[in-house]
Amino acid sequence: MYEQAIALYPSARTMDIQAMKKYLNPQKNEKILGIGEGNGFFCPPIIEAIGEKGYYLVTDPSSEQLANLAKRVTCPNLETLTKGAENFTPTTSFDKAWSFGAFHHCPDQTQAMKNIYNALTKGGKMVICDVFQGSKLAKHFDGPVARYCTTGHEAKFLSDEFAESLCYLAGFDESKVKIVNLPQKWKFDSENDLGDFVYKLHAMTLIPGEEQEKIKEVIKGCKEILGVKKLGNHYELNWPMKALIAEK
Ligand SMILES: C[S@@+](CC[C@H](N)C(=O)[O-])C[C@H]1O[C@@H](n2cnc3c(N)ncnc32)[C@H](O)[C@@H]1O
């Protein structure tokens, strides 16, 4: 259902691509490590930016998500590895590491951060964008998503303090660690599209009722918890995340 959501509403997450370009800023010939990059939403723009002499390794523990990535993009300098961030042992060095909306799934975040640090070359940059504790997005996940997602949603959302401690424990230069707000908005042509996207993205099939009733319930939750705005002829859903940025 994650793949269906991304395929049906390809423009919804335009701001996420903008955040990737701003903070990861992939450049020609760079070697980039993707962590929890799932079905490869960020693959096409990253591959385009690094060019044919760059290298992009996408790691994710879900073979289903990676199978969808393989349908979205194939390229000789793109490889995938079916591993969680906590189990990954790098065999090459990367200029940059990138993750979006995945780190909260890592059961051992201390080990995951060490693995990312070890994978980077000296001066290498890490950008982890995720849901943080205390945010409206954490409420959305711990409330409706945890109740109604067909797989459940147990998550370890970072606090600023724990994120900084993880960087310190892994060995990152503390003077080059920063956390920035990402005021993401996801954009849709109609309220129903917004509800359908979130319903599918989180596979919220356990909401009682017929599919249209489930979508209505999702829209209600999004309005109450995250905030939805009608601007001109489109709808914006607040999706407030943070980026943890560090340099080795
Ligand atoms: C919400 S999806 C995000 C996918 C992609 N980054 C995006 O923005 O579209 C979360 C991803 O985290 C992955 N994941 C789950 N456990 C993980 C772990 N231990 N380490 C790394 N990724 C994990 C899931 O398989 C899934 O692909």
Centre of ligand 1 from the C-alpha of residue 60, in Å: 6
Task: Kindly indicate the confidence band of residue 8, based on its pLDDT and cuts at 50, 70 and 90.
Answer: very high
Atom of ligand 1 nearest to the CA of 38: 27
Establish whether residue 65 lines the binding site of ligand 1, counting it when its CB lies within 6 angstroms of any ligand atom. Answer: yes
Average pLDDT in the 8-28 region? 97
Is pLDDT of 168 > 90? yes
Establish whether residue 137 lines the binding site of ligand 1, counting it when its CB lies within 6 angstroms of any ligand atom. Answer: no
Looking at residue 216, its pLDDT comes to 96
Average pLDDT in the 174-201 region? 97
Query: CA-to-CA distance for 248 and 81, rounded, in angstroms?
Result: 23
Give percent above pLDDT 70 in the chain. 100
Establish whether residue 215 lines the binding site of ligand 1, counting it when its CB lies within 6 angstroms of any ligand atom. Answer: no
Is pLDDT of 87 > 90? yes
Establish whether residue 102 lines the binding site of ligand 1, counting it when its CB lies within 6 angstroms of any ligand atom. Answer: yes
Least confident of 19-33, 61-75, 104-118, 208-222: 61-75
> Which helix (H) or strand (E) element contains residue 124?
strand 120-130
Confirm whether pTM is higher than 0.85: yes
Task: Kindly indicate the confidence band of residue 90, based on its pLDDT and cuts at 50, 70 and 90.
Answer: confident
Establish whether residue 85 lines the binding site of ligand 1, counting it when its CB lies within 6 angstroms of any ligand atom. Answer: yes
242, 130 contact by CB (below 8 A): yes
Three-state secondary structure call for residue 233:
coil
Establish whether residue 35 lines the binding site of ligand 1, counting it when its CB lies within 6 angstroms of any ligand atom. Answer: yes
Query: CA-to-CA distance for 97 and 119, rounded, in angstroms?
Result: 8
Half-sphere exposure of 171 (CA within 13 A, CB side): 14
Centre of ligand 1 from the C-alpha of residue 240, in Å: 18
> Across-strand partners of 188?
235
Q: Phi and psi dihedrals of 133, rounded to 5?
A: -55, 145
Is pLDDT of 96 > 90? yes
- Cα separation values, 11 from 18, 45, 188, 217, Å: 12, 14, 8, 23
Query: CA-to-CA distance for 102 and 106, rounded, in angstroms?
Result: 8
Query: CA-to-CA distance for 79 and 47, rounded, in angstroms?
Result: 11
Looking at residue 72, its pLDDT comes to 84
Question: Which tokens in the block code for residue 171?
Answer: 């060995």
83, 77 contact by CB (below 8 A): no
Half-sphere exposure of 132 (CA within 13 A, CB side): 19
Looking at residue 55, its pLDDT comes to 97
Q: Name residue, tokens 């309220």.
A: 191
Nearest Cα residue to atom 23 of ligand 1: 36
159, 133 contact by CB (below 8 A): yes
Looking at residue 44, its pLDDT comes to 94
Establish whether residue 82 lines the binding site of ligand 1, counting it when its CB lies within 6 angstroms of any ligand atom. Answer: no
Looking at residue 40, its pLDDT comes to 92
> Across-strand partners of 98?
34, 127
> Which helix (H) or strand (E) element contains residue 161?
helix 160-170
15, 32, 62, 80: which to mutate for ligand 1, most atoms within 8 A of CB? 62
Task: Kindly indicate the confidence band of residue 71, based on its pLDDT and cuts at 50, 70 and 90.
Answer: confident
Query: CA-to-CA distance for 125 and 172, rounded, in angstroms?
Result: 10
Average pLDDT in the 146-169 region? 97
Could you tell me where the beta strands, DSSP code E, fall in 70-163? 78-81, 94-100, 120-130
Task: Kindly indicate the confidence band of residue 73, based on its pLDDT and cuts at 50, 70 and 90.
Answer: confident
Centre of ligand 1 from the C-alpha of residue 68, in Å: 13
6, 13, 58, 65: which to mutate for ligand 1, most atoms within 8 A of CB? 65
**Mean confidence (pLDDT) of the chain:** 96
Atom of ligand 1 nearest to the CA of 65: 27
